[in-house]
Amino acid sequence: MKSEFITAITALAAEKNLPRDVVLEAVEVALASAYKKDNLAQSNVVVKISPDDGSVHVYTQKDVVEEVEDDKVQMTVDEARPYKPDARIGDTLLFDATPANAGRIAAQTAKQVVLQRLREAEREVVYEEYSGKESDIVSGLVQRLEGRNVIIDLGRTEGVLPPAEQVRAEHYRAGQRLKVLLVEVSKATKGPQILVSRTHKDLLRRLFELEVPEIFKGIVEIKSIAREAGYRSKVAVWSRQEGVDPVGACVGMRGIRIQNVVNELNGERIDVVQWDPEPSRFVANALSPAQVVSVFTHEEENTAEVVVPDRQLSLAIGKEGQNARLAAKLTGWRIDIKSQSAYEEELAAKGITPEQAAASLREEQLRRSREAAAAAAEQARVAAASRPLTPEEEVALQYAETDAETAVGEVAPEPAAAAATTAAPPTPEPAAPGVKPAIRFAEELVRPPLEDLRPGVKKKASSGGTPGRRRDEEERERAAAAKRAKGGGGSKRILPDMDEEDEDGQDEYSDPI
Fold classified for 4-127: N Utilization Substance Protein A; Chain:P; domain 4 (3.30.1480)
What sign for the dihedral angle of Cα 301, 307, 311, 315? negative
Q: How far apart are CA 354 and CA 343, in angstroms?
A: 9
Q: At 306, which helix (H) or strand (E)?
A: strand 303-308
CA dihedral 444, 448, 449, 454 (to 10 degrees): -150
At 306 the pLDDT is 93
- Residue 248, C-beta contacts closer than 8 angstroms, at least 6 positions apart: none
Please state the domain extents for the chain.
4-127, 134-197
SS3 265: coil
Q: How far apart are CA 17 and CA 155, in angstroms?
A: 12
At 353 the pLDDT is 80
Does CATH place domain 134-197 in 2.40.50.140? yes
Asked whether 201 and 261 are in contact (CB, 8 A), the reply is no
Q: How far apart are CA 313 and CA 82, in angstroms?
A: 97
Query: What phi, psi does 215 have (nearest 5°)?
Result: -75, -40
At 491 the pLDDT is 44
Q: What is the mean pLDDT of each run of 10 residues along the chain (513 residues)?
A: 67 76 78 70 74 74 80 79 80 74 62 77 84 88 90 89 91 91 86 90 94 93 93 93 91 92 92 91 92 88 92 92 94 92 87 79 77 80 80 76 66 43 45 45 46 48 54 80 63 44 44 44
List residues bridging with 44 in a β-sheet: 61
Asked whether 211 and 251 are in contact (CB, 8 A), the reply is no
At 79 the pLDDT is 79
The number of CA neighbours under 13 Å toward the Cβ of 274 is 12
**Can you give the pTM of this predicted structure?**
0.59
